[in-house]
Structure 1
């Protein structure tokens, strides 16, 4: 029991929206083949790599990433909270707390909550529903999963906590009943097609079909559990051998709460028709807040659906408050990639691998949820209390971390080689491959600062992959999109830095370079990206993990040597080929490019710094070999730095490249300079040139591009106009690139401009229905591309520069 007002715990900076309020003109997808689930996205629930569930601001549970790397967006109406209220002796009322009734005719007996009667708030990993204007009681539901910085255990749990706070502000007693209903979905989330064909989509991307077993519930059953002072429903499936290892999709759900004396009255129903009219639970609930206390464990027949329900009823005296917890847990321990390629999830290190531990997890949550909530608040508080940060920035800083939960995240169980397991997040749902190295150059800053152990595990995976080969061949999708005949390309050449760590239909971490839009063996930024991330992850996490540098050093040497083979004229800088061969993979660069050339110079400096550390630490690596590598890199630098300046500096900014003749101002032209300063390496370019180029970028790409409303375009002419009005990447505003550019502005002591740019992008995301599905790109036409995108977590680079990258944040 508590007297705390339910609104007092909600940070003022949390994102807010009236419950059920739609969007007049939300952003729509740029290309029909790209994913557009619409704007009804809310903060996801669930631990990293455990599978996640999304609940939107209208109250429905609609995002189901239960199968690792796979996306299902569909409102399951039977999964719902409902509230009964009776004030004194007045006529009672009851509502299911979603503003959107089912469209298929099911649950027609239920009464659905009216729109705009309250407010939804979100500040990842917490969100709140504040209900007002309908009930006499003041009701708030806080929902969260146990995620906080530097936590490598609870952050993996497949658990959602719903903490209800009810307050009676009237002079009469109020009887309330809170009901949680849940459909038994055991067996639904696995691909019915274990070996799907890969095809090339119309945008040139490789795709395969995911066929979840939705509504396949034969054999599903629910049982009522009383466990000392904890009660709930366990949702299971009959017919599984309890001694056999579970398959993907096999496991349990659980919904639970506290029994008397911690709550007043508990009711339950373990077998109701979740696709019928709903009267079997609603008739008694709407009458007096009770359920039939039906305990029926009969398995579902073919074509039948079964739901479970638990209700907690209590009476509040005038002025009284009470908190009631509900917990949702799920235990699906196996992620299967290609048929037979299986990994156990990280949470199984703490709860076992049987797939029969959902109740154990629910029990753990009911015991520890208050402590978890306190740890989340303590983690966030140091940022929330900063008066120098605007509320919109604090909001976006935390909310952009949502992708670590819902970005198809994988987190495997621990092994001797990987003591905290292996981790990976998709580039996005449209481009369904993991940890694209060029994207995470900016997009990994949140992981680096908050869970550096996971960050290093990703970079180690790239280090292991660099020497590997994959002799399979495939066609290149880019040529398909321009109507040209595609050359065939090897999947992965030895010592080429892979673009990604693979896709969920093959073998993530082992079969890399899944994307085939371009031949990534030819990319000119990936080796530099790798080297810079190795040194960054060492330097900004205490500069003491020598073993990490030792593990990565052979691949650093191999990656740079491979990239140097593209320096065809031997002038010290690898040339771009004229094909899109870097992260802007629709944008042709020719000769020495500002983007790739600056990254190359910074990477050479980083490699020299790594080598010197290894020599100083007297590691097992041969000093003579390291010294030879350093000497080589210094020779290349002597050539490269003056050549870069001579070829690309035009007196105002750095040219796009040395051979195309373009006068485009590229927004991210000095990413390498940003990284050099970030890592305390020698500058890539003279500082006065960097300042001039940065000013030109800010003026042309941001202020002159639709008056700064949308953010900075990737590349426009100095007057803000397009070089080619039909271009794709140059005229898009990339959210993560903009946040990286803002970090560079901040680094160069231009804080006002950095925040002006960042705010423009944040406003576009959070006022136009893009929240919790932040895209790679938006356009001035109100369209977007590639939602749930990894690079947007680059907003943490801004905070990192502000705090000098204190990884204890």
Structure 2
């Protein structure tokens, strides 16, 4: 049986069902998250919560509580198959790993053998192809309606499972497909109502999270049968609408010549015989309907099954849907938002069936729309196969990255959006990280991207006088100075954390004093102009909304130009995205971003000066007497640029590359030294350095940081000497391969015509991730020792920057 028999596209990530990993990457720091390699593609809409099913067949990822991570196999949540031909029958639950807790011992579990089937993933679709076990050819496609520039269906909390069964034999085959689901309403909320914030061993602020797993008292299930659908609703009695309260629905369609069976109340903590005996013998369920709520010590689950007979050569398609409706997201106690999908299904928490029905009505259209989006890219002969695979699969983080998407209001007509930096650094939309990592959002859901940028613009003028200690000094064994949380005019590092008030209480991280960072202001300005230019240069309202913040934050950053040479100096503390790496004086990384940001700010000002007076948005200027005067501001920025541009070249260019900085004396070659030049050229701005210098610097980076670093096997390290040796063998960031930085570097190489080098770096990083158990949890950093740091990271979506440069 070939994958094409079931319309599986090429260029998927594949894994034999149930095949483990001999030596998967392991976490670098014991306190960091490491669930192991059993991660599959997540299912669910943006900001709706998500679930995940691993390549061995179990549902084990439960991101139902926004911003929180629960990784646990729940065996009763499962698909099972019964097959009978003549007097011979067999039945298997479709996971190769039996429960480790002693439950469901009567069930037969799918045999784990490398020839028994293959898992494929190409986000937002994935497939299980079952082979050499059943007589029938069986495939299950699973997906959610993730559709570019779609701001409705993309938010739906639903997963569709399309089963296709084909009878290749010369005799009839009877099949039954069963979906069982444990009632977990109320499980995914924090049992600790006032979580304590503490400092972890790596200096990061963390807080306690304890999901209410097993808290099922009051849960009940009921059957819904209509003309076209059969469903079980999993609910809870008498609970106020709050975080984690709502419904699950499991549903399928009624079709001719198909029998439907159900059981609304069975015990998932038992041996499972009450379900398995009938199903394994004849493929049916006893049609038990019982809505009695669970007692304090009880657990309950529901099941639906469909049974049908395939004649020789016949193929049949059977859809199932799993939907959930948990409409409220609560952050700090009492800080609540409704999720985006509630704009379309209501906010009372009883719409899971309506969501499931919508999926069963529209899933074929959704499949077609996903295929129409992906096929032109998949058909391109100039793109390597591993790149096509990773390009789509790296979008997983928009679903499972603790994603928030709030309901719409007058100020935010498509709602507010945010993705965590990662679960180890649990704060939203870290601006330095999204400098590369937000290309995917910009290119595919531009309105969500702009909502994030507007949130940063609103936050720049705010101040927060709370003080806290700085974690970096804690990791060095030094006494920490205290720092203000947020200084007015400073661009915040992030948009807050799930335990406080995202979008409003910013700068959650306290590993460094981010008010002192030299890249954040520039990152903001560049992303404002990027979002304008790369979406057609017509959204002038975005520029108006951000102009004051642009002026304020660049003016603030200029105060760090202590020697008056036009460029803010790095302080010697780690004060930029490489926040374990000390830079001193004028640095290649931050200085280049400064030059590019000044160019972008000047371009923004000139664009606003050309704005039509009769456009409605021009009223913003007329009604804001304190709005920064544009001509005078352009002149100021121009004077800074004229002074600083030659200083940058004079202090840092050494004929082969741009030195790390002007004062440390380091001779390290920094991989991302010319990020500012990449952005300038991307946005059609003047080069910040001579093009021949940029080309030479890139060649030096490629040879020193990639080729001479373990022969290019892992990707480009952040910073090495010309001969590929480390400046400090005990350093952290310089010796790490940052996946997102590598994709950004590859985009720069592509931009400068160095395509073969770009593809070599890209392929090396992709293979390290997807061959070593890091799929669907791509980390920030990997090392040559087979360790990683900060999985589920935002920055690797920078792979879309490569596609942007290559395509436009």
User: Fold match, TM over 0.5?
Assistant: yes
Asked if residue 105 in structure 1 is aligned to residue 96 in structure 2, the reply is: no
Partner of 2:29: 31
Which residue is equivalent to 1:807? none
1:6 CA displacement: 6.4
Of 528, 535, 559, the match for 1:565: 559
Matched residue, 1:259: 254
Q: Tell me which residue corresponds to 1:22.
A: 20
Mapped pair 1:541 → 2:540: no
> Which residues of 2 match residues 626-775 of structure 1 at below 5 A?
626-775=630-779
What SS does the corresponding residue of 1:140 show, helix, strand or coil?
strand
| Secondary structure at 1:94 match in 2 | strand
Residue 155 of structure 1 is matched in structure 2 by 154
Contact map agreement 2:548 2:628 (CA 8 A) in 1:
no
1:209-231 CA distance string (max 9 Å, x none):
11111000001010011122100
Alignment of 1:29-178 (within 5 A): 29-87=27-85, 89-115=86-112, 116=114, 117-178=116-177
* SS of 2:629 mapped into structure 1: helix
Match of 2:546 among 545, 552, 556: 552
Q: Is the 8 A contact 1:92 1:287 kept in 2?
A: yes
CA distance in 1, matches of 2:155, 2:781: 30
1:783 aligns with 2:787: yes
Matching residue within 4, 10, 23 for 1:12: 10
Question: Which shows bigger deviation, 109-118 or 655-664?
Answer: 109-118
Aligned-pair CA distance for 1:684:
0.6
Instruction: Tell me how far 1:260 sits from its aligned partner.
Output: 3.5
Q: How far apart are the structure 2 equivalents of 1:207 and 1:554?
A: 33
How far apart in 1 are the matches of 2:696 and 2:228? 67
- 1:339 has 2:337 as partner: no
In 1, the alpha carbon distance for the partners of 2:250 and 2:2 equals 26
* Residues 27, 782 of structure 1: 8 Å contact kept: yes
For residues 410 and 473 of structure 1, the distance between their equivalents in structure 2, rounded to whole angstroms, comes to 27
Q: Provide the C-alpha distance between the structure 2 equivalents of 1:742 and 1:756, rounded to a whole number of angstroms.
A: 9
Residue ranges of structure 2 left out of the alignment (5+ in a row): none
Q: CA deviation at 1:275?
A: 1.1
Q: 1:660 to 1:75 in 2, by over 3 A?
A: same
Is 2:319 the counterpart of 1:330? no
- Which is worse superposed, 89-98 or 595-604? 89-98
Which digits, 9 at most, give the CA deviation of each residue in 1:496-534, with x for residues without a partner? 000000000000000000000000000000000000000
Match of 2:194 in 1: 195
Task: Classify 1:171/1:478 alpha carbon distance in 2 versus 1 (closer, same or farther; 3 Å).
Answer: same
In the superposition, relative to structure 1, how do residues 14 and 76 fare at CA in structure 2: closer, same or farther (>3 Å)? same
8 Å CA contact retained: 1:5, 1:167? no
Q: Which of 369, 374, 377 pairs up with 2:371?
A: 377
Number of aligned residues: 796
Distance in 2 separating the partners of 1:402 and 1:796: 13
Tell me, yes or no, if the aligned pair for 2:672 and 2:745 is still in contact at 8 Å: yes
SS state at 1:598 partner: helix
Q: Does structure 1 retain, via aligned residues, the 8 Å contact 2:405–2:417?
A: yes
Distance 1:95 1:73 in 2: 24
Residues 84 and 93, structure 1, Cα contact 8 Å, conserved in 2: yes
1:20-51 Cα distance to aligned partner (Å, 9 max, x none): 00000000000001100000000000000000
> What is the Cα deviation at residue 4 of structure 1?
12
Contact 1:733 1:779 in 2 (8 A): yes
Is the contact made by 2:6 and 2:139 (CA closer than 8 Å) also made in structure 1? no
Q: Which residue is 2:621 aligned to? A: 621
Q: TM-score, normalised by structure 1?
A: 0.98
The Cα shift of 1:8 comes to 4.1
- Supply the distance in 2 between the matched residues of 1:585 and 1:713 (Cα, whole angstroms): 15
Query: 1:6, 1:165 within 8 Å by CA — same for their partners in 2?
Result: no
Aligned counterparts of 1:255 and 1:335: Cα–Cα separation in 2:
22
Shift of 1:7: 3.3
Output the CA distance in 2 between the equivalents of 1:575 and 1:9. Answer: 56
Deviation for aligned residue 1:259: 1.5
Cα deviation for residue 193 of structure 1 reads 1.2
Whether the 8 Å CA contact 2:3–2:129 is kept in 1: the answer is no
Cα distance in structure 2, aligned partners of 1:4 and 1:792: 32
In structure 1, what is the Cα distance between the partners aligned to 2:248 and 2:549?
43
1:712-744 residue CA offsets vs partner (Å, 9 max, x unmatched): 000000000000000000000000000000000
Is 1:216 equivalent to 2:215 in the alignment?
yes
Distance 2:133 2:492 in 1: 55
The aligned residue for residue 248 of structure 1 is 243
Aligned to 1:621, the other structure's residue is in SS state: helix
Distance 2:459 2:153 in 1: 29
The offset of 1:624, in angstroms, is 8.1
Query: In the aligned structure 2, how far is the partner of 1:716 from the partner of 1:384?
Result: 36
Counterpart residue number, 1:230: 229
Shift of 1:194: 1.6
The Cα of 1:68 is off from its aligned counterpart by 0.4
Match of 2:279 in 1: 285
Partner SS for 1:73? coil
Residue 495, structure 1, aligned to residue 495, structure 2: no
Distance 1:587 1:504 in 2: 28
- The alpha-carbon deviation at position 12 of structure 1 amounts to 1.3
CA gap 1:521/1:624 in 2 versus in 1, 3 angstroms: closer
Instruction: State the alpha-carbon separation in 2 of the partners of residues 542 and 8 from structure 1.
Output: 39
Q: Distance in 2 between matches of 1:780 and 1:4?
A: 37
Q: Please list every run of at least 4 consecutive aligned residues from structure 1 whose deviation after the TM superposition is greater than 4 angstroms.
A: 3-6
Superposed, 1:427-442 pairs within 5 Å as: 427-442=421-436
RMSD over equivalenced CA pairs, Å = 1.1
Contact 1:445–1:796 (8 Å) recurs in 2:
yes
Within 2, Cα distance between the matches of 1:458 and 1:284?
52
C-alpha distance in 2 between matches for 1:782 and 1:752: 26
CA distance in 1, matches of 2:391, 2:804: 11
Q: Which residue in the other structure is 2:463 paired with?
A: 469
Distance 1:140 1:8, change over 3 A: closer
* Aligned equivalent of 1:204: 203
CA contact (8 A) 1:6 1:166 kept: no
1:5 CA displacement? 8.0
1:726-775, Cα deviation, whole Å (9 max, x unpaired): 00000000000000000000000011110011000000000000000000
Distance 2:170 2:242 in 1: 56
2:671 and 2:745 in contact (8 A); partners too: yes
Q: Distance in 2 between matches of 1:696 and 1:578?
A: 25
CA distance in 1, matches of 2:380, 2:269: 49
Paired with 2:297 and 2:503, the residues of 1 have a C-alpha distance of 38
Q: Matched residue of 1:17: which SS? A: strand
Equivalent position to 1:402, from 396, 399, 416: 396
SS for the counterpart of 2:316 is: strand
